[in-house]
Chains A and B, each alone.
Chain A
Amino acid sequence: DAGVTQSPTHLIKTRGQQVTLRCSPISGHKSVSWYQQVLGQGPQFIFQYYEKEERGRGNFPDRFSARQFPNYSSELNVNALLLGDSALYLCASSWGSGLTNEKLFFGSGTQLSVL
């Protein structure tokens, strides 16, 4: 079975532009979470979606938004890009909403560079 897939793998944008990142969870998984990992840091939680509803939001500005589709895939949108948005964006999926000790599976991420 395929793991969590993310696209694109690499992306270069300029300041002020908008970007959309995509994630397909493992088949059967209903929850998708997004994390931002700046170089030299651990991942930081952005959003979690379960059954197409937002279940959690991290401390990120309103320029960041996300949604989950009926097939459980997800998109992360970032508007008005800043240099500080340059990071590895990770998507993780799990079967349930995560209230139990479920295993989280991460994709390989999208490396976003903002120039």
Chain B
Amino acid sequence: TQLLEQSPQFLSIQEGENLTVYCNSSSVFSSLQWYRQEPGEGPVLLVTVVTGGEVKKLKRLTFQFGDARKDSSLHITAAQPGDTGLYLCAGADYGGSQGNLIFGKGTKLSVKP
């Protein structure tokens, strides 16, 4: 059974601080996605990383896919209260469908003004 372990589970920081969220697995994934979910809403896709070692930037967010395609990280620079939410990583199995994703348990981020 493929698992994605996210850490930390909870993170409470002050506005302006930097943070990194990790997503690790013993399995190889064809691609890995990061989502943000607000309470009472569905997850919203932030980024998809496909190539081992790939780095993608989305404004203050930097995403990295590990060389071996087993892990990923999300780094937020100068966090803002609007970044508050549940961050989920999700992997697509080789030969599997993007509609069939394996999700981590998520990192609940709270950014205080």
Known contacts being A97-B99, A98-B97, A101-B50, is A108 close to B40, with CB within 8 Å? yes
- Which of B56-64, B67-75, B101-109 binds A? B101-109
Q: Is the C-beta of A94 less than 8 angstroms from some C-beta in chain B? A: yes
Which residues B47-102 have CB closer than 8 A to chain A? 48, 50, 88, 90, 92, 96-102
**Contact at A42–B100, with CB atoms within 8 Å?**
no
Are the CB atoms of A45 and B42 closer together than 8 Å?
Answer: no
Query: Are A56 and B48 closer than 8 Å at their CB atoms?
Result: no
Which residues of B pack against A, CB within 8 Å?
4, 6, 31, 33, 35, 40-45, 48, 50, 88, 90, 92, 96-106
Which residue of chain B is the closest to A103 with respect to CB atoms? B45
- CB of A90 within 8 Å of the partner chain: yes
Identity of the chain A residue whose Cβ is nearest the Cβ of B49 in the assembled complex: A101
Check A94–B98 contact: CB distance below 8 A. yes
CB distance from B102 to the nearest CB of A (A): 7
Flag whether A50 is at the interface (Cβ < 8 A): yes
A106/B42 in contact, CB under 8 A: yes
Q: List 15 A-B contacts (CB under 8 A).
A: A4-B42, A42-B104, A45-B102, A48-B100, A56-B96, A58-B100, A92-B99, A99-B97, A104-B33, A104-B101, A106-B43, A108-B41, A108-B42, A109-B41, A109-B42
